[in-house]
Structure 1
């Protein structure tokens, strides 16, 4: 509980929550994350934004969507680092959550339990169509899950798969249109 400074009223601490925005590559996940974070800033909320340090595709520091919308972030190497930098904020944004270690689940739970709104964006499946890293666990603990879709480049239907166009067996391979394309279920499995 805390006492409201101006009126002296007693209030319970605000409950935090977790929002996950997921989908395939080119579906607008980062764009939606940026939109929500900018709205929080307009509302004069204190916002902290993080991304994995390995994601340097568009910018070393900023989170940048495929259509070049950007917002300043802090690159981190581990999920634990996020806890160290969020003590005085109200909203926490995390992009490319699939690249974080499994500790990200405990981190976002702690943030929400401390009254923070946590907004996460990430790929729900890898290029093999398998659930990606900590994303399934994050989706299961979230109060709100938004799945966004791309358009299949082969047939024009709704796409929810990230098809890798180049041979590479590693689960994590950073790339853009040169390496990946969005595909629907039928076109993804057709190869």
Structure 2
């Protein structure tokens, strides 16, 4: 906690997929353990890519985590579960309901260091709640970038692929996957399919008044 106010704070690690968000989260957790701080780690039930009770990176690193119901008031369970923790980490925050915003604020108010990781945009390139709300009130925000698989520029977008083709704008927002379903893309190379005839780059999409 902060030495003068004795309050906690919220840190957000955001960015596109494949940008190293979870790797950075695990780095911070390792440093907390070295400092002999008590740590509690949480993940949404919907994400079982690296095991039901672990968070993991694309490079194979893992950490044990408590699974939390991500819908409705489910995230509120963290408040009781992490009662004795000095550091609370939440991975894939974008899969949780907006109740996670309340959880982060309440934990920080009682002196806990809260570290939240997640992608801040949907495959459409739109804000992916609740992460933008948490970023707005967090003390520290780091936005990571990947490498665009098309042009090699810094990538900030999640390109969803269905059978190798860009996903349609009307597809569900949440689809858990990795390299088989997603690529990192820059703004210009990011594609959102709006009809059955041709893919549309986001920079070409128009919004009529």
Q: Same fold (TM over 0.5)?
A: yes
Q: Quote how far apart the aligned CAs of 1:133 are.
A: 1.6
Check whether the contact 1:47–1:90 (CA below 8 A) recurs between aligned residues: yes
Q: Quote how far apart the aligned CAs of 1:156 are.
A: 0.6
Aligned to 2:40: 48
* Greater CA drift, 162-171 or 72-81: 162-171
Give the one of 76, 87, 91 matched to 1:91: 87
Alignment of 1:56-95 (within 5 A): 56-77=48-69, 78-95=74-91
Question: Counterparts of 1:98 and 1:104 in 2: how far apart (Å)?
Answer: 10
CA RMSD of aligned residues (A): 1.4
Q: Does 1:154 align with 2:156?
A: no
Check whether the contact 1:97–1:134 (CA below 8 A) recurs between aligned residues: yes
Q: Does 1:27 align with 2:23?
A: no
Return 5+ residue gaps in structure 2 as ranges.
192-200, 203-209
Alignment of 1:138-153 (within 5 A): 138-153=134-149
Aligned to 1:121: 117
Q: Quote how far apart the aligned CAs of 1:81 are.
A: 1.1
Runs of 4+ in structure 1 off by over 3 angstroms are: none
Q: Quote how far apart the aligned CAs of 1:143 are.
A: 0.1
Question: Counterparts of 2:14 and 2:107 in 1: how far apart (Å)?
Answer: 20
Aligned to 1:132: 128
Q: Secondary structure at the match of 2:43?
A: strand
Check whether the contact 1:13–1:115 (CA below 8 A) recurs between aligned residues: no
Give the one of 93, 97, 116 matched to 1:101: 97
Superposed CA offset, 1:107-145 (max 9, x none):
110000000000000110010001002011000010000
Question: Counterparts of 1:164 and 1:89 in 2: how far apart (Å)?
Answer: 36
Q: Quote how far apart the aligned CAs of 1:13 are.
A: 6.7
Aligned residues: 181
Return 5+ residue gaps in structure 1 as ranges.
1-10
Aligned to 1:7: none
Alignment of 1:165-176 (within 5 A): 165-166=161-162, 167=167, 169-176=171-178
Question: Counterparts of 1:66 and 1:75 in 2: how far apart (Å)?
Answer: 20
